Structure formats: structure tokens, C-alpha cells
Amino acid sequence: MSAPVLYFADPGEAADLAAFLGRLLHYDKAAAVRLQAQAGGQALAVFGRPPSFEVLAIRTARLLKPYENGIDDSLDVTVSAGQLLESVDADGGSSSAVIPPAVTGPPWAGVLPPRGGWERLDGFPDAAALHGLVKAAVAEFRARVEELAPEARTRAELDHIGREIWSRQIAGSAVPVRVAHAAVSLGFLRGTSADLLTSGAWVRLRTAYGSVAMRRTGSGLGGLFVGPA
């Protein structure tokens, strides 16, 4: 049986997906992604987890019909991000991708954010403010590393500094700075729009270019508070 083929709505959709996969592979050469058809098979959701940020990254792409070889709204498979990237044709006339063989999914692939029930929270900083926050955090990290004696710049010490900085809350919320850092690093935080959404134990930073989600442990998001930007 031939491998399933995805046809994208236009070359831009294919190119954006390729860029997203490339960024995931930058952080993890062996990255896997989970693919799910949505909107009645008219859209593809791609989930990945860059290990440096401890969040889920979500990119969607609009698809065309008809499909070839069994692509429908029941598509749900975990594949190699590298193999999928190699199959994306963003420059040719087809704007297509062949779905690689399924792989054994990592643990995160079995726990995805809900599709519905999201509520937008007011008062969260806009994209420009989040960019500034991330820029300041990166500058602080570099400055603190520079202050260390060469022999003290161990992996353990660098991880300690990073955890302290990236775990800080954004604007008095329960959302850590690493969520915004991930959105910047993955190319999602462009333009001016950035919304914070919650659904159950999940929180999600959404932009027009993708989303970053994380699942809170313990008591969940019941105590979430967002202060003024």
C-alpha cells in the first residue's frame, strides 16, 4: 500500500511547516511529531516537544481535498520529524508531503492538550512585551554566566541559573517565562497578537503562527492570576 500523501492549501503552508520541523530538529535531532487531522480533515495539527523548553509546540497547516491513500479526519500518527521534513515539497507544484512510517511515540505524545474548552484570559502582556521579557531574560543569563569564574561554568551551574530565570512567572501569572521563550525560539511570537488561554490543567500561549502549551501539575490552574501588562 502506498504511503499517505498530504496536500497543503498553498506553498506557504508547506514552507511554514518545514520551518517549524527544522526548528524542532535544531533542539532534538531525533525529534518525533504527532500528526492529527482536524476540522473534518481540512487542517493538520503537528505537535512537538523541544526538550530545552519543557513545553508542547503546536503548528497547524491548512490542507486540500481530495486526499490520497487514506488521509481523512481520523488521521492520528506519530512519525519522525526528520523524515517528515525530508518529504515536504514546498517549492514544487504539489505543495505536498508523504507521511513517514509510524514510530513508537515518546511519553509526551500520549498526553495532548484538549481540542476545545479554551478560555482567553485578559491582562496578559502583548507580543511586544513578551519579546522584551525574553530578551531581558537572555541578557541576564549571559551576564550571570560571564560573572562566573571559568572553572565554575559547569553544566550543573548553567542549568541552575537557567531554571531560576526561565521558571519565573510572567506578569504575576502562573505561566513561566520559558513558555514565551519557546514561542520566540520557534518563530511563533511574530506580529502583535498573543493570547493566553486555559482549559482545565492546561495553559496555552497562542499566536497566528502557532501555540505553546504546558500542562500544570498538582492543583492545576485553579489559582491562576494574571496581573496587568
What does the mean pLDDT of the chain come to? 87
pLDDT value for 212: 97
Which amino acid does the sequence have at 21?
Answer: L
pTM given for the model: 0.87
Q: What percent of the chain has pLDDT over 90?
A: 67
For residue 229, pLDDT over 50 is answered with no
- Note the pLDDT of residue 71: 54
Which domains, and CATH codes, for the chain? 5-109 (3.10.150), 119-215 (no CATH)
Size of the chain, expressed as the number of residues it contains: 229
The pLDDT, as a whole number, for residue 1 is 58
Q: What is the mean pLDDT of residues 62-83?
A: 76
Q: What is the pLDDT of residues 167-181, one digit of tens each?
A: 999 988 889 999 999
DSSP string, the chain: -PPPEEEBSSHHHHHHHHHHHHHHHHH-TT-EEEEEEETTTTEEEEEE--TTTTSEEEEEEEB-SS-BSS-STT-EEEEEHHHHHHH-BSSSSS-EEEPPPP-PPPGGGGS---SS--EEETT---HHHHHHHHHHHHHHHHHHHHHS-GGG--HHHHHHHHHHHHTSBSTTSS-BHHHHHHHHHTT---SS--EEEEETTEEEEEETTEEEEEE--TTTTTT------
The pLDDT assigned to 60 comes to: 94
pLDDT at 220 over 50: no
Encode pLDDT of 92-150 as tens digits.
667 889 999 999 989 999 999 998 899 998 889 999 999 999 999 999 999 999 999 99
Residue 64 pLDDT class (50, 70, 90 cuts): confident
pLDDT at 219: 37
